[in-house]
Amino acid sequence: MKGYSHLPAAAIAGIILLAFVLGFDSYARFIEARDVEALANNGVEQIEAGTALQEAALADPNLLPIFGGSEVTVEDTPYTAYRFFQTYPTGFQVFDVSRAGASFLTIAQDLAALGPDLRGKKVVISFTPSTVDTHDINASVYSGNFSHLHASALAFSPDLDMQLKQSLAGRMLEFPQPLRDDPLLEYGLIHLAGGTILDRSLYDLGWPLGMLYVTVMRLQDHEAIVSFILAHPPIRPYIDHNPAPIDWRRIRNAAYSEQLTHTANNPYGVDEYAWSDYQNQKIVPTLPGSRDQEFRLVVLSSREWDDFEMVLQILKELDARPLIVSRPMNGWLWEAFGVTRQTQGLYYSKLRSEMTLYPFPLIDFQQYNDDKYFSLDGPSHTSREGWVYIDQTLDRFYHGSAH
């Protein structure tokens, strides 16, 4: 028995450690839930890199999470959603989980990491036509937006269909740079994507360690947030939530007038800060339709459509309640680029065809394709006027209608 005399002490130490971990997890979740509204849209790094604050936002009935790219944050005006709704004018504020250059593959990892927390929750998936105006993802931008926690939670997820995980793993392996310092994640992805019986056996063998790895990273995420809150207590005055009707027409007219003053130096609705670049490099004498074939080839064959479908599959499997929101093209500007209106319509047709198998509401704003003041540049970053249309759409979705 002497050889086993250390076991009771080890068991007690294990129980104490487990109790500490569970206690810290509960404490962290409590203060995250308490402060998530104050931390929303304040540039806290863990909002994009982690899952804890995203989970807290999903559980908060006063928050509407938005997953997207630079179109959500690039134009910092009173009409931008996170500014417009910050005082809960209709009872909620948005929770921005966007980052510049975010691809559908990045968004897929974000959503997969949330797992069952998405069940029954409203979320907004935001993007622009420029997302698919390229054959494939920019590898350096993808690496810059990479979250090891999100990617690992996807790779070792117990909630997603194996075939879907295999497809996602194969896609992630096409971008090896962020995997070089993460051998366990790379191991999981390689054997997920392999698809053979041996690969499946090796994946299953490593799965418990992968889940432990994800658990440790989630605890580190909690620790980072708790440390931030303790060092920077969210000081924010109480905001009384008294929803009131909004005069959208008045706000839209004001935003339109402001947009006119910022685009008075050109006929395409390009914001004045960017016009010199367009005038000198992008607006050149171009024959009508001269880029139709190029646009058709790129938009219809973009790898991003495959990633978009995987985003939709994740949302469906996890039983989320998403609103899919695309910005419109700036028809006048793209016509100046050499793409006719008819060819521009291929983007909307392709987008709607991708949605056929998924019962999610889609708002693509095609009716504003010829409104040169909806966007402020070629990539369809949203203007002041455009944001009012987006805000009204978000408000309707939060309160129960997508249209």
**Sequential DSSP letters for 214-231:** HHHHHHHHHHHHHHHHHH
* Cα–chain center distance at 242: 29
Select the more confidently predicted residue: 93 or 403.
Answer: 93
Select the more confidently predicted residue: 247 or 14.
Answer: 247
Residue 99 to residue 112: CA distance in whole angstroms: 17
Contact 41, 95 (CB under 8 A): yes
pLDDT at 266: 87
Q: Give me the torsion for CA of 167, 220, 205, 193, rounded to 10°.
A: 10
Contact 374, 383 (CB under 8 A): yes
Q: Which of 323, 325, 328 is nearest to 367 (CA)?
A: 328
pLDDT at 44: 85
Select the more confidently predicted residue: 80 or 276.
Answer: 80
Q: Which of 94, 87, 42, 47 is nearest to 72 (CA)?
A: 94
Average pLDDT (92-100) is: 93
Residue 75 to residue 300: CA distance in whole angstroms: 29
Question: How big is the CA angle at 114 (ends 112 and 116), to the nearest 5 degrees?
Answer: 100
pLDDT at 403: 56
Average pLDDT (179-200) is: 95
From residue 299, how far is each of 8, 22, 84, 135, 277 by CA, in Å? 65, 49, 33, 8, 24
To the question of pTM greater than 0.95 for the whole model, the response is: no
* Residue 68 reports pLDDT greater than 80: yes
* Residue 389 reports pLDDT greater than 80: yes
At residue 7 the predicted structure's pLDDT band, cuts being 50, 70 and 90, is low
233: left (phi over 0), alpha (psi -120 to 50) or beta: beta
